[in-house]
């Protein structure tokens, strides 16, 4: 009876995917680049917040949070920090929320969202 030779694999090949550094599609103060979002943010910030949360499949109350901005930024590898997200949301909350919604809309339009 012949013995078959067996090979034991101790390591598997690894694939490392380096995610490219992303960037915001529009600037924090680029309100005129999407007037619909700007008007919604100006006159009904709560509605815009719920839209962003819905886009991100999160609770409606989370749309205008620092955590939501940080989650989005890390998902798309946009440089920044939690402190930067906090400052944006604290001092420029409506603008930061509009920026987030504009970015979602543009990425959706490009098939990247």
- The pair of three-digit structure tokens given for residue 109, joined into one six-digit string: 């339009």
pLDDT at 113: 86
Question: In the predicted model, is pLDDT for residue 16 greater than 80?
Answer: no
pLDDT at 14: 58
pTM over 0.95: no
DSSP state, 106? H
DSSP state, 4? P
Question: In the predicted model, is pLDDT for residue 4 greater than 70?
Answer: no
Largest CA distance in the chain: 84
What whole-number percentage of the chain has pLDDT above 70? 83
User: Which of the pair, 9 or 78, is modelled with greater confidence?
Assistant: 78
């Amino acid at each position: 009876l012949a013995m078959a030779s067996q090979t034991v694999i101790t390591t598997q090949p690894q694939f490392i995917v380096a995610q490219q550094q992303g960037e915001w599609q529009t600037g924090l103060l680029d309100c005129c680049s999407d007037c619909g979002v700007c008007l919604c943010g100006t006159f009904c910030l709560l509605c815009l917040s719920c839209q962003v949360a819905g886009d991100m499949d999160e609770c409606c109350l989370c749309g205008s949070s620092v955590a939501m901005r940080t989650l989005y930024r890390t998902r798309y590898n946009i440089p920044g920090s939690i402190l930067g997200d906090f400052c944006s949301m604290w001092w420029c909350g409506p603008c930061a929320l509009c920026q987030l919604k504009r970015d979602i809309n543009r990425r959706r339009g490009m098939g990247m969202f």
